[in-house]
Amino acid sequence: MSANQNLQNLQGNHACALAAIRAGCRLYAGYPITPSSEIAESMSAELPKVGGVFVQMEDEIASMGAVIGASAGGVKAMTATSGPGFSLKQENLGYAALTEIPCVIVNVMRGGPSTGMPTRPAQGDIMQARWGTHGDHPTLVLAPWSVEEVYAETIRAFNLAELLRTPVIILFDETIGHLVETVDLTHFLDLEITDRKWADSKTKGFKPYADPGDGIPVMARPGDGHRVHTTGLTHGENGFPTQDAELVAQFMSRLLGKIEKHRDEVEHIDVRHCDDADVVIVAYGITARAAHRAVGMLREQGVRAGLFRPLTLWPFPEAAFKAATGHADLVLVPEMNAGQLILEVERLVSEKTRVAGVNIFFGDPITPQQIVEKAEVELNDE
């Protein structure tokens, strides 16, 4: 029997590192933290082989800074962290969003708040990923549910970062980070890799933040002669600070609008059995695997259940969600937190639909049985 080279047993964290390199990442800057450290460890082994740079920085703030610096220089870059480290990255993450410097940030979620439960899975950073840095800013967050999907979504994260000139956050949790599964790399053989658009004109007066029409300015590569200014101060098309209300309004609407404009490319969902579903379970990451099983168990009991799984958590795929839950009586939202994505679900469901959470975040993943039990309680209540 000839071994298939393309079938590999990979740990989630390891898959993330390999996918990043596949996507063109050539600089990794990070600071060790459980349960994400294996990403750094893999990068330390792999990057030198492809002429890339691995650097362990003095903290997460520095890691985020170095990643942005590298990407500003034209090299795709990534950092990975968990809980406390994700908090430390927030200020510079906002800088990347405002200056529109592409980069990828992985947060392998663990129990929180504070040091919390470092070796236990959780999904407590859903809202932090959306709102963690101060001020209104575009946010793009992806949430894979398997090792193979970690691989796929990591590549997609780089592609979206490059396409939209924005930081992209990948959220998974301790379970997926440490899970070992078989990944079939043949699925990724013809994968397209996106690179940001570089300005080719060397003319003076190049406007680094002018809107070419799609909301995404063309980037100037240092050394190519544009000599532009990059600042975290609110700036005009020329890149220099401004407080002119009209220019600020123009800038902010482009910045916030560019993701909206590209929802088709950004949104990725997995919808199963929702066509006739009276009960829709909305779940993401590892919890969605339990939810998927729960859907099967409920169907066996004669309950018409379905699964709505957003791989893109932010921006939340609103239209697809509404279509999938349009005729549902009950929407269940299991999450390993006290109730975060459920707030978005409650905002979007139709009036006749009841919403209930399954909020178990005490260190173990949510089981299919726990979801089924909650569904039964809710259905008996009716």
Partner 1 sequence: MMSDVAQNQFNIKEYIRQDLFPHFMCPGCGHGIALRALLNAVHDLDIDKNKLAVVSGIGCSGRVGAYIDANTFHTTHGRPLAFATGLKLARPDLEVIVITGDGDCLAIGGNHMIHACRRNLNLTCLMLNNEVYGMTGGQVSPTTSMDRFTTTTQYGNYEPVFDACKLAEGAGAGFIGREMTLQTPALRDLIKEAISHQGFSFVEVLSDCTEVFGRKNDLGESAEMVLAQKAGYRSDSYGTVVDEPFKPRGMQTGVLLRTERPEYAATYQQHNAEKLKQ
User: Min. distance of Cβ 223 from partner 1 in angstroms?
Assistant: 6
In the complex with partner 1, the residue whose CB is nearer, 70 or 348, is 70
In the complex with partner 1, the residue whose CB is nearer, 219 or 332, is 219
Q: Which stretch binds partner 1 (CB under 8 A): 74-82, 162-170, 181-189, 320-328?
A: 74-82
Question: 282 - beta bridge partners?
Answer: 308
Quote the CA–CA distance of 143 and 150 in Å, as a whole number: 8
Quote the CA–CA distance of 335 and 366 in Å, as a whole number: 8
Is 270 buried (19+), middle (13-18) or exposed (0-12) by CB count in 10 A? Answer: middle
Coil vs helix vs strand at 184? strand
| 231 touches partner 1 (CB under 8 A) | yes
User: Residues 74, 116, 118, 339: which binds partner 1 (CB under 8 A)?
Assistant: 74
User: Min. distance of Cβ 75 from partner 1 in angstroms?
Assistant: 4
- Binding to partner 1 in span 167-226, by CB under 8 A: 222-226
User: Min. distance of Cβ 106 from partner 1 in angstroms?
Assistant: 17
204-211, Cβ contacts within 8 angstroms, sequence gap of 24 or more:
207/237, 207/238, 207/239, 208/237, 208/238, 208/239, 209/100, 209/235, 209/236, 209/237, 209/238, 209/239, 209/251, 210/237, 211/237, 211/254
DSSP output for 259-309: HHHTHHHH--EEEES-TT-SEEEE--HHHHHHHHHHHHHHHHTT--EEEEE
| 233 touches partner 1 (CB under 8 A) | yes
User: Residues 6, 7, 73, 319: which binds partner 1 (CB under 8 A)?
Assistant: 73
| Window 38-67: contact mask with partner 1 (x via CB under 8 A) | ----------xx---x-x-xxx-xxxxxxx
| 343 touches partner 1 (CB under 8 A) | no
In the complex with partner 1, the residue whose CB is nearer, 75 or 356, is 75
| Residues 6+ away with beta carbon under 8 Å from 28 | 17, 20, 40, 43, 44, 47, 52, 53, 54, 55, 67, 77, 78, 79, 80
Q: Which stretch binds partner 1 (CB under 8 A): 91-99, 154-162, 362-370, 372-380?
A: 91-99
| 84 touches partner 1 (CB under 8 A) | no
Is 377 buried (19+), middle (13-18) or exposed (0-12) by CB count in 10 A? Answer: exposed
User: Residues 230, 287, 337, 340: which binds partner 1 (CB under 8 A)?
Assistant: 230
Cβ atoms < 10 Å from Cβ of 300: 10
| Window 8-37: contact mask with partner 1 (x via CB under 8 A) | ------------------xx-x--------
In the complex with partner 1, the residue whose CB is nearer, 19 or 70, is 70
User: Residues 117, 127, 191, 228: which binds partner 1 (CB under 8 A)?
Assistant: 228
| Window 94-123: contact mask with partner 1 (x via CB under 8 A) | -x----------------------------
User: Min. distance of Cβ 260 from partner 1 in angstroms?
Assistant: 27
- What ranges make up the beta strands (E) of 315-353? 330-335
- Binding to partner 1 in span 126-155, by CB under 8 A: none
| Residues 6+ away with beta carbon under 8 Å from 340 | 123, 124, 126, 127
Give the residues lining the site for partner 1 (CB under 8 A).
Answer: 26-27, 29, 48-49, 53, 55, 57-59, 61-75, 77, 91-92, 95, 222-233, 240-241
